[in-house]
């Protein structure tokens, strides 16, 4: 649906006029049709610049941006307006007109396009119902909550019947409960309308909850990408690992982290991170491990969650660092497929 081909974007220095800042550096990446794909990175990573290339608000310094078979950067303004009608956009701060009602805000793109009033009504009323605002049709933005305003923004983005929906930090200004409601709505839209969604965010929780594929950005480059589940369960790049550590259960509690040493000492315990997914997700492997080791296993911390709809769990455990015990444990992990990583040692 969207393809970035060797895309570089540089911005000129205001003082010298020379290209002083490279926001995107030779990016090649494809967004599959019909999926929800996440682009995640810290502030300044280049994600918002990337999404602005898709709808032609920015043009690449080098490379091509292909949207549904069309090279967006090669279009003149007239042709670009036509392409933009097939691309919906949801903003972080809603961008609603305070003087227009819910209905009128949603209808605005169609009015600008010159669609007849009776046709606007036929298209807008089902959309307002879809986002759950049928009882708020005549309300103004000042009368709505943040979540309701974002629902208006989503309905407006869908008014022109786009093939692609861009979401740029659409949940960043919302509380956690409202964020989950909006993400649920995006999943419904993706499923029921078959709409391709490109979601830009700095929140790992958002990516985990709603996307099927993800690309991680750092310093203008995509440093890791793939199925969301694979990237979350086996991160390869330091940026990904660092961002995942912010998730609940993603890192050791501080009280135990302060005690961790790099090498074992006489009588110390090994501290391991166990990851449960796939066939290991619903097996009583910890109780089996205790039996196999014939040694106490101390459960330090853990969490059970879903990533892109698939079960996933992390558990921190400690047991004797005696070589014989460690060997038994390694054999157990090899036989069961349980993912285990020694993260250090504790007294």
- What is the distance between the alpha carbons of residues 101 and 211, in angstroms, rounded to a whole number? 32
- What is the distance between the alpha carbons of residues 230 and 213, in angstroms, rounded to a whole number? 9
Q: Which of 154, 168, 152 is nearest to 54 (CA)?
A: 168
Same domain, 35 and 80: yes
Same domain, 94 and 181: yes
∠ Cα 20 22 25 (to 5°): 155
Judge whether 165 and 157 are in contact, CB under 8 Å.
yes
Which pLDDT score is estimated for 227? 95
**Residue 81 token pair:** 């307006």
- What is the distance between the alpha carbons of residues 91 and 112, in angstroms, rounded to a whole number? 19
Beta bridge partners of 251: none
∠ Cα 220 225 230 (to 5°): 150
CATH of the domain at 53: 3.40.50.300
pLDDT tens track of the chain, all 347 residues?
Answer: 899 999 999 988 666 556 678 999 999 999 999 999 999 999 899 999 999 999 999 999 999 999 999 999 899 888 988 888 899 999 888 889 999 999 999 999 999 889 999 999 999 999 999 999 999 999 999 999 999 999 999 999 999 999 999 999 889 888 989 999 999 999 999 999 899 999 999 989 899 999 999 999 999 999 999 999 999 888 899 999 888 877 766 677 788 888 899 999 999 999 999 988 877 777 888 889 999 999 899 998 888 888 888 888 888 999 999 999 999 999 999 999 888 999 999 98
218 phi and psi, to 5 degrees?
-155, 125
Same domain, 83 and 120: yes
Query: Which of 188, 222, 244 is the last residue in one of the domains?
Result: 244
- What is the distance between the alpha carbons of residues 23 and 220, in angstroms, rounded to a whole number? 5
- What is the distance between the alpha carbons of residues 293 and 284, in angstroms, rounded to a whole number? 15
- What is the distance between the alpha carbons of residues 171 and 27, in angstroms, rounded to a whole number? 26
CATH of the domain at 325: 3.30.70.260
- What is the distance between the alpha carbons of residues 173 and 103, in angstroms, rounded to a whole number? 23
87 phi and psi, to 5 degrees?
-125, 115
Same domain, 239 and 276: no
- What is the distance between the alpha carbons of residues 207 and 36, in angstroms, rounded to a whole number? 9
Judge whether 87 and 164 are in contact, CB under 8 Å.
yes
Which pLDDT score is estimated for 285? 87
Which pLDDT score is estimated for 103? 96
Q: For the sheet containing 339-346, what is the strand order?
A: 298-307, 310-320, 269-277, 339-346
How many residues are given for the chain? 347
Same domain, 186 and 98: yes
Same domain, 146 and 26: yes
Same domain, 125 and 171: yes
Judge whether 160 and 112 are in contact, CB under 8 Å.
no
Same domain, 197 and 270: no
Which pLDDT score is estimated for 305? 82
Which pLDDT score is estimated for 240? 93
User: What is the residue range of 236's domain?
Assistant: 2-244
Q: How far is CA 99 from CA 96, 103, 104, 153, in A?
A: 9, 12, 9, 15
- What is the distance between the alpha carbons of residues 307 and 249, in angstroms, rounded to a whole number? 13
């Amino acid at each position: 649906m969207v393809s970035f081909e060797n895309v570089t974007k540089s911005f000129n220095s205001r003082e010298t006029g020379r290209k002083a800042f490279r926001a995107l550096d030779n990016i090649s990446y494809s967004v599959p049709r019909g999926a929800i794909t996440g682009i995640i990175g810290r502030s300044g990573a280049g994600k918002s610049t990337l999404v602005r290339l898709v709808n032609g608000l920015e043009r690449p310094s080098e490379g091509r941006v292909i949207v549904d078979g069309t090279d967006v950067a090669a279009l003149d303004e007239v042709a670009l307006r036509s392409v933009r009608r097939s691309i919906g956009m949801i903003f972080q701060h809603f961008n609603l007109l305070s003087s227009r009602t819910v209905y009128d805000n949603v209808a605005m793109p169609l009015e600008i396009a010159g669609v007849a009033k009776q046709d606007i009504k036929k298209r807008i009323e089902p959309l307002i119902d879809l986002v759950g605002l049928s009882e708020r049709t005549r309300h103004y933005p000042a009368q709505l909550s943040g979540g309701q305003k974002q629902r208006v923004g989503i309905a407006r983005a869908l008014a022109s019947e786009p093939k692609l929906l861009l979401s740029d930090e659409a949940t960043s200004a919302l509380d956690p409960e409202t964020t989950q409601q909006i993400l649920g709505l995006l999943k419904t839209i993706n499923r029921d309308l078959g709409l391709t969604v490109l979601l830009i965010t700095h929140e790992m929780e958002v990516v985990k909850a709603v996307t099927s594929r993800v690309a991680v950005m750092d310093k203008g480059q995509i440093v890791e990408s793939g199925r969301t589940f694979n990237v979350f369960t086996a991160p390869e790049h330091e940026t990904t690992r660092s961002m995942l550590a912010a998730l609940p259960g993603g890192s050791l509690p501080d009280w135990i982290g302060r005690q961790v040493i790099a090498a074992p000492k006489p009588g110390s315990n090994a501290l391991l991170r166990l990851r449960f997914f796939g066939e290991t997700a619903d097996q009583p492997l910890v109780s089996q491990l205790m039996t196999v080791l014939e040694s106490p296993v101390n459960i330090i911390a853990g969490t059970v969650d879903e990533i892109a709809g698939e079960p996933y769990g992390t558990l921190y455990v400690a047991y004797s660092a005696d070589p014989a015990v460690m060997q038994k444990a390694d054999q157990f992990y090899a036989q069961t497929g349980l993912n285990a990583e020694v993260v250090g040692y504790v007294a």
